[in-house]
Amino acid sequence: MYGREYTFNNAEAAYQAHKMTEGNQHLFSTLSGKEAKEMVRSLPHVDSWGEIMKEAAMMHVLDAKFSQNAELAAYLISTAPRKLIHWAPWDNYWGWSRENNGWNRLGELLMELRNELR
């Protein structure tokens, strides 16, 4: 997504770094997921961050995560043909909420990536 690639300790930090304006992404490389979510609120971020960008960023992070770990990729492939559901009571966009509803976009993107890996 940016001209320079960085290494992150976790997927959440990598995802949150995608929200940053050019030049601030490196600040997230050593943060925990929780720290990254907190930091993103205090720094200038991309004004046009919307559904398309957030899904592209998540797919970029997932692709990097699974392409760097063959064991993890094999596990994802082994879940086929089951439907993957990210249960997230706090987030009905990325997951399935307490109210038994939600978009489950993380589950959908994981299934899309699984198909690409097969």
**pLDDT single digits (tens) 20-48:** 877 788 899 999 999 999 998 888 777 77
Question: Above 50 in pLDDT, residue 1?
Answer: no
- Report the pLDDT averaged over residues 102-117: 97
How far is residue 33 CA from its own chain's centroid?
A: 11
Residue 54 burial class via C-beta count within 10 angstroms: exposed 0-12, middle 13-18, buried 19 and up:
middle
**Residues whose CB is less than 8 angstroms from the CB of residue 79 and which lie 6 or more positions away in sequence, other chains included:** 114
**Residues whose CB is less than 8 angstroms from the CB of residue 102 and which lie 6 or more positions away in sequence, other chains included:** 88, 91, 92, 93, 94, 95, 96
CA–CA separation, 109 and 118 (whole Å): 14
pLDDT confidence bin for 4, thresholds 50/70/90:
low
Residue 57: name the closest of 27, 96, 87, 12 by CA: 12
**pLDDT single digits (tens) 74-103:** 999 999 999 999 999 888 899 998 787 899
Neighbours of 101 (CB within 10 A): 9
Q: Domain residues of the chain, as ranges?
A: 1-68, 81-118
- Report the pLDDT averaged over residues 14-20: 91
pLDDT confidence bin for 110, thresholds 50/70/90:
very high
Q: Taking the model in full, what pTM does it have?
A: 0.87
Q: Between 51-67 and 70-78, two packed helices, what is the crossing angle to 10 degrees?
A: 110
